[in-house]
Amino acid sequence: MAEWLHAEAVLGTEGLRALDALGPTEVLVGVYGANQARSVAQVAEAATKGLSGALAGRASAVVVLDAGVGGDTAETARAWARAHPPVPPVRGLRVPGPPIRGRAVLAALAAARHLEAESCALVDAGLVSLPPEGVEQLLRPLLGGEADYVSPAYAHTPSEGTLTSNLLAPLCRALYGRRLQQVVGACAGLSGGRLGRLLDAEPWDGDLTGYGLEIRLTVEALTSGERLVEAHLGRKALDPGPAAPDLATTLARTVGPFFGLMDRYRSAWSGAQRSTPVPQIGGPPALLPETGDVQGDRMVRAFKLGLKDLLPVWEQALPEETLGQLYPLALLAPEEFRFPPELWARVVVDFAVAYQDRRVPRDHLLKALTPLYLGRVAAFLREAQAAPPQRVATILDTIGRAFEAEKEDLEARWR
Partner 1 sequence: MHETWSDILVGAFREVVQRLSLVAPRLLALATMLVVGWILAALARRLVIRVLRAMDFDTRCARWGFTAGLIRGGFRQPPSQLLGRLVFWTLFLVALLMGIEALEMPATAGLVAGAVRFLPNLVIAVLVLAVGWLLANFTAQAVLIAAVNAQIPLAPFIAGAFRWLVVSFTVAASLTQLGIAREMVLLTFGIAFAGAVLALAIAVGLGAKDLAREMLESHLRGQNRDQDSATHV
User: What residues line the site for partner 1 (CB under 8 A)?
Assistant: 159-164, 168, 184, 211, 238, 244-248, 250-251, 254, 292-296, 298-299, 301-302, 305-306, 309-310, 312-313, 316, 357-361, 364, 367-368, 370-371, 374, 377, 381
In angstroms, give the least distance from the CB of 21 to partner 1. Answer: 35
Longest dimension (CA), the chain: 66
Region at 116 (left for phi over 0; alpha for psi -120 to 50; beta for the rest): left
Nearer to partner 1 (CB atom), residue 18 or residue 238: 238
Nearer to partner 1 (CB atom), residue 18 or residue 248: 248
Nearer to partner 1 (CB atom), residue 177 or residue 241: 241
User: CA 25 to CA 117: how far, in whole Å?
Assistant: 6
Contact 366, 313 (CB under 8 A): no
Nearer to partner 1 (CB atom), residue 15 or residue 126: 126
Nearer to partner 1 (CB atom), residue 260 or residue 296: 296
In angstroms, give the least distance from the CB of 242 to partner 1. Answer: 9
In angstroms, give the least distance from the CB of 29 to partner 1. Answer: 22
In angstroms, give the least distance from the CB of 236 to partner 1. Answer: 8
Beta bridge partners of 123: 31, 187
Beta bridge partners of 127: 238
Task: Please tell me whether residue 204 adopts helix, strand or coil conformation.
Answer: coil
DSSP string, 91-146: EEEE--SS--HHHHHHHHHHHHHHTT-SEEEEEETTBTT--HHHHHHHHHHHHTTS
Nearer to partner 1 (CB atom), residue 105 or residue 115: 105
324, burial (CB in 10 Å: exposed 0-12, middle 13-18, buried 19+): exposed
Nearer to partner 1 (CB atom), residue 98 or residue 361: 361
Q: Where are the alpha helices (DSSP H) in 265-295?
A: 266-271
Nearer to partner 1 (CB atom), residue 161 or residue 189: 161
Nearer to partner 1 (CB atom), residue 87 or residue 244: 244
Beta bridge partners of 149: 190, 228
In angstroms, give the least distance from the CB of 414 to partner 1. Answer: 15
What type of residue is 109?
Answer: L
In angstroms, give the least distance from the CB of 374 to partner 1. Answer: 6
149-155 and 187-191: which strand pairing? antiparallel
In angstroms, give the least distance from the CB of 375 to partner 1. Answer: 11
Contact 326, 371 (CB under 8 A): no
In angstroms, give the least distance from the CB of 150 to partner 1. Answer: 19
Cα dihedral across residues 132, 211, 108, 198: positive or negative: positive
In angstroms, give the least distance from the CB of 315 to partner 1. Answer: 10
Beta bridge partners of 238: 127
Beta bridge partners of 296: none
In angstroms, give the least distance from the CB of 312 to partner 1. Answer: 8
Nearer to partner 1 (CB atom), residue 2 or residue 333: 333
Torsions phi, psi for 97 (to 5 deg): 105, -170
Give the distance, in angstroms, between the CA of residue 71 and the centroid of all CA atoms in the same chain.
Answer: 24
Torsions phi, psi for 86 (to 5 deg): -90, 160
User: CA 400 to CA 402: how far, in whole Å?
Assistant: 5
